[in-house]
């Protein structure tokens, strides 16, 4: 049975140069990411030991490196890269990523666009 415990980091906000339009990639904009990591948190809760959980500072640093390391055309590609990096580095069973792009150049007013993906370990 997959773990039901979840560690979340909400609304990490970065300035990035992602987008399909050349102007978006040149001027940049604000992006926000939420990460949910599903794992068994009981060992950490029982021991009060950081080594038995996921260090969210290390997750934040990894998300920042992935976000800043490349200019993505699609939010889907950014989300996939972050999810893959988290699964490769941390002992989590599943990760849910939400990536929001603010100030989207559409012909109307919106708060943001958002992509959500859910990735787990290969069985």
57 is catalytic: no
User: How far is the C-alpha of 77 from the C-alpha of 9, rounded, in Å?
Assistant: 20
Q: Taking a C-beta distance cutoff of 8 angstroms, is the pair 119, 83 a contact? A: yes
Q: Which of 30, 52, 89, 101 is catalytic?
A: 101
Q: Alpha-carbon Rg of the chain, whole angstroms? A: 16
Say which residues have a Cβ less than 8 Å from residue 41's Cβ, sequence separation at least 6.
3, 5, 7, 53
User: What positions carry a catalytic annotation?
Assistant: 101
């Amino acid at each position: 049975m997959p773990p039901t415990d979840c560690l979340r980091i909400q609304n990490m906000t970065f300035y990035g140069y992602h987008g399909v339009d050349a102007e978006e990639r040149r001027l940049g904009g604000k992006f926000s990411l939420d990460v949910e990591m599903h794992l068994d948190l009981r060992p950490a809760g029982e021991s009060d030991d950081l080594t038995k959980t996921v260090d969210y500072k290390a997750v934040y640093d990894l998300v920042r490196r992935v976000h800043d390391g490349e200019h993505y055309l699609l939010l889907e590609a950014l989300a996939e890269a972050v999810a893959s990096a988290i699964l490769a580095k941390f002992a989590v069973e599943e990760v849910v990523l939400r990536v929001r792009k603010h100030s989207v150049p559409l012909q109307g007013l919106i708060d943001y666009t958002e992509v959500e993906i859910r990735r787990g370990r290969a069985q």
